[in-house]
Structure 1
Amino acid sequence: MEQAVYAFRVEGKPVTCERYGFGHINKTYRIVTSWGNMYELQKINRHVFTNVSNLMENIGNVTRYAAQRVRHPMEALCLVPTVDGKDWFEDEDGNCWRMYHHIENSICFQRPASTTDFYESAKAFGSFQEMMAGFPAEKLHETIPDFHNTPVRYRQFHKALEEDKLGRAQGVQKEIDFFLTRESGAGLLVDLLAEGKLPLLVTHNDTMLNNVLFDRTSRKAVCVVDLDTVMPGLSAYDFGDSIRFGANLAAEDEVDASKAGLDLEMYQAYLRGYLETCPSLTAQELKRLPDGARLMTLECGLRFLTDYLQGDPYFATTRPGQNLDRCRTQMGLVQDMENQWDAMAAAL
């Protein structure tokens, strides 16, 4: 790790290096130099991102494009180059590292404390979408192929169900039936994309509240972070994943799934912020935002169930049955979205 600390062009000499943040994929460290400057050093998880070159090419291109379009440098992440001018560094053990400039007086939240927090996050992700509108999405690499391709996720589910390696399927028939009855409409968004009715855009693909930095004093959104999953995609993906995460009445791993449901006030607040800062959406994109919310929730629940059937190899757990609980909260949210569908559509 010491090799990585000194591999980047920082102002001053690194004097402290401490673990920082709550990320589950990459490890982040706060670097402070003798000049008082702060930086975030990240060790990239090569098990998740096997092609680091493509990953960092995406991030480098997107951050440089964004830097030309923001009003203030703090509104976009900025990579620190290595001493030889590259965007990332590979040490002698094969570990890959990158570094960002620290964004002063910023904080991130794990859950919205109010509709205002959620509205602010929507403005941040809407601004990111609008800012990247001119970037040719087809030039980005798919760092995780078929990430939001719901029919592909269903094929993976069927494979896990057929193999049933741990014999868990017999205990979750209700959950299995829930997803099977909704399979026929799961390809709506990818079909509209294939038909040319929805535009391919640069999308973030991990639009959770904790991927927005807020000003510590004003609680205004400052910057979107965690660009590892920036890929070609649909506006409905980003909008939908935010609703799935932030507008559920229950925590993602709540053991009592009856608590899950759509907080319509949160949904409306997010929609308002997103549309305020992303006015370039087409009529068809706007129409499909509620579909994005429902399908991203359905897809995520399906992934949790698939992972449970496979023995929890992908989503980290801290207790038995946690992925099944996660699946059930997504099911509850999907069901409530279907119950409130007219209100969701009317909010547009």
Structure 2
Amino acid sequence: MDTIIQNVLKEYGFEPLQIASMPFGSGHINTTYLVSQEGHEQQFILQSINQNVFKNPLIIAENVRLVGSYLKEHYPEYLFVGSIPTEDGKEMAYVDEIYWRLTRFIPNSVAFDTLSDPQQAFEAAEQFGRLSKLLNGFDVSLLKPSIPGFHDLNLRYQQFKEAVEKADPNLQTRAASQIEKALRLTFIVDYFNSYRSSSDFPDRVMHHDTKISNMLFDKTTGKGICVIDLDTLMAGKFISDLGDMMRTYLCAYSENEKDMDKIFIRIEYFEAIVKGYLKEMGPILTATEKDLILFSGKYLIYMQALRFLTDYLNGDIYYPVSYPEQNLVRTMNQFKLLSEFFNKEKILQSIVDKCLSN
């Protein structure tokens, strides 16, 4: 076993000769290990925190601690996968200038990288919705942003404009049609800003990264168990979670798909997301929030397209790429998904209306 992992686990009271660890999961941000202890059934998940993405990991630890304490007091039956304290009571271990956290591994659970059934979308939307619903009474002002401006569309649009101005002329030329699309769709920014400060559009506790791999399912029943990966648990608008589910669940192919003919919306998955989310959040959403359900998808897809395009123009400094034009392909992919969203708007809105009336 790696010496640094041994030293980290010592912080949690493990004896090196009695433990084993192996790389685990498919995440791209943090490094993850599955930890087993000789003679014990309980296993653990050990993760290092990527400080290039999360500049202050202690903010993550404090946000998770505050939310976990609230849920333990008010909803003790809820399965919240919070951090296990070190031997000296710290939320994270700090070894060799790296922050680490330990959580318990949930037995008989499985996570998926892709969806294969609308029921999975329903289960995930229900679980993400449940977390926010249970935290409806929590004071969101207590939470600090682990990534400032993460889902701030105004910030992302400003970063895009700056990237266009500073980009290499060759990159500007190759991305010209996508830049033109981004500028043509700025009404999405204006529409969001028209609601942004409304008292009927409150800040809530949001997960902010609702891809399907951040959900645990029961291996036997296929039912949703709980949400995981709480790095971006912070205050935000409900459209962050619901929109991110729409962005990542509706198409059978990811943003890396080059064949744009494969990018289309699976209507049955859209209905599953809305039904699952409203099952939990329906009773507490305001009238304005209900009006913005469909908009949440446009908001997140457009913002992600801007982020890919910005990174392309900046020379691929944020998202890992395996070939030079990948971020441009990702941009085209997301704009195609957004166009599909607009093309099917009447059908999608009718589904929303039906779900709200049930």
Place the TM-score, normalised by the shorter chain, in its bin. over 0.9
Equivalence for 1:273: 276
Superposed displacement of residue 72, structure 1:
4.1
Equivalence for 1:40: 45
Equivalence for 1:121: 124
Matches within 5 A, 1:212-223: 212-223=215-226
CA RMSD of the aligned region, Å?
A: 1.8
Equivalence for 1:202: 205
Q: Spell out, residue by residue over 1:178-205, the C-alpha distance to the aligned partner (whole angstroms, 9 max, x if none).
A: 1100113314334423132301101010
Contact 1:13–1:35, Cα closer than 8 Å, also in 2:
no
Equivalence for 1:229: 232
Which of 238, 243, 248 matches 2:241? 238
Superposed displacement of residue 71, structure 1:
6.3
Which of 77, 80, 84 matches 2:84? 80
C-alpha distance in 2, partners of 1:189/1:224? 27
Contact 2:240–2:296, Cα closer than 8 Å, also in 1:
yes
Superposed displacement of residue 282, structure 1:
1.3
C-alpha distance in 2, partners of 1:214/1:12? 31
Amino acid at match of 1:58: N
Q: Spell out, residue by residue over 1:94-147, the C-alpha distance to the aligned partner (whole angstroms, 9 max, x if none).
A: 111110011111110111101111111111111111111111111100111111
C-alpha distance in 1, partners of 2:37/2:252? 43
Asked if 1:51 corresponds to 2:56, the answer is: yes
Equivalence for 1:316: 320
Superposed displacement of residue 69, structure 1:
4.7
C-alpha distance in 1, partners of 2:15/2:284? 39
Asked if 1:172 corresponds to 2:175, the answer is: yes
Amino acid at match of 1:257: M
Asked if 1:262 corresponds to 2:262, the answer is: no
C-alpha distance in 2, partners of 1:289/1:251? 22
3-state secondary structure, aligned to 1:186: helix
C-alpha distance in 1, partners of 2:74/2:220? 25
Cα 1:187–1:61 shift into 2, 3 Å: farther
Contact 1:115–1:265, Cα closer than 8 Å, also in 2:
yes
Range 207-216 or range 193-202, more displaced: 193-202
Cα 1:205–1:247 shift into 2, 3 Å: same
Divergent runs of 4+, >3 A: 9-14, 67-73
C-alpha distance in 1, partners of 2:74/2:190? 34
Percent sequence identity is: 31
C-alpha distance in 2, partners of 1:51/1:347? 41
Which of 186, 196, 216 matches 1:193? 196
C-alpha distance in 1, partners of 2:191/2:18? 51
3-state secondary structure, aligned to 2:274: helix
Which of 60, 64, 71 matches 2:69? 64
C-alpha distance in 2, partners of 1:166/1:22? 36
Equivalence for 1:137: 140
Cα 1:30–1:181 shift into 2, 3 Å: same
Asked if 1:325 corresponds to 2:333, the answer is: no
Which of 326, 334, 337 matches 2:338? 334
3-state secondary structure, aligned to 1:262: coil
Count of aligned pairs: 346
C-alpha distance in 2, partners of 1:162/1:117? 43
Equivalence for 2:290: 286
Amino acid at match of 1:209: I
